[in-house]
Amino acid sequence: QVQLVESGGGSVQAGGSLRLSCAVSGYAYSKSVMAWFRQAPGKEREGVSAIDSDGKIAYADSVQGRFTISQDNAKNSLYLQMNSLKLEDTAMYYCAAGPYGGSWRSWTKYGYWGQGTQVTVSS
């Protein structure tokens, strides 16, 4: 049974930092993509960043240079370091796992999702 469990969300002032973690169990595909998505109230779910099993990384333009995705295969964990947070980063953040192929930004390619962790940035 595949499980993804996010943690690390919270409330922070603009300019602050948070580190999200996603503990992954039961998912062991050699060719896969792990990603972070976010969804704010009234908005569509959007891709934030992704990393594939070859280590190739992609970011949304809105977070490029501020967020860093990483993974620790020994700990079966995915991370998202978020620096210089902005009000518009406020959202529920989800980690997702899926196979190679297609656009990493397309949430429909991911078959496994965590329950989400809330990030709230205030002024």
Per-residue pLDDT at 29 = 66
Q: What is the pLDDT of residue 102?
A: 85
User: Residue ranges of the chain with pLDDT lower than 50?
Assistant: none
Phi, psi for 88 (deg, rounded to 5) = -75, -5
| Best CA proximity match to 45, nearest among 109, 104, 93, 7 | 93
pLDDT at 75: 83
Q: What is the pLDDT of residues 14-23, one digit of tens each?
A: 999 999 999 9
Beta partners for residue 68, in sequence order: 81
pLDDT at 105: 95
Nearest in space to 25 (alpha carbons), one of 101, 97, 92: 97
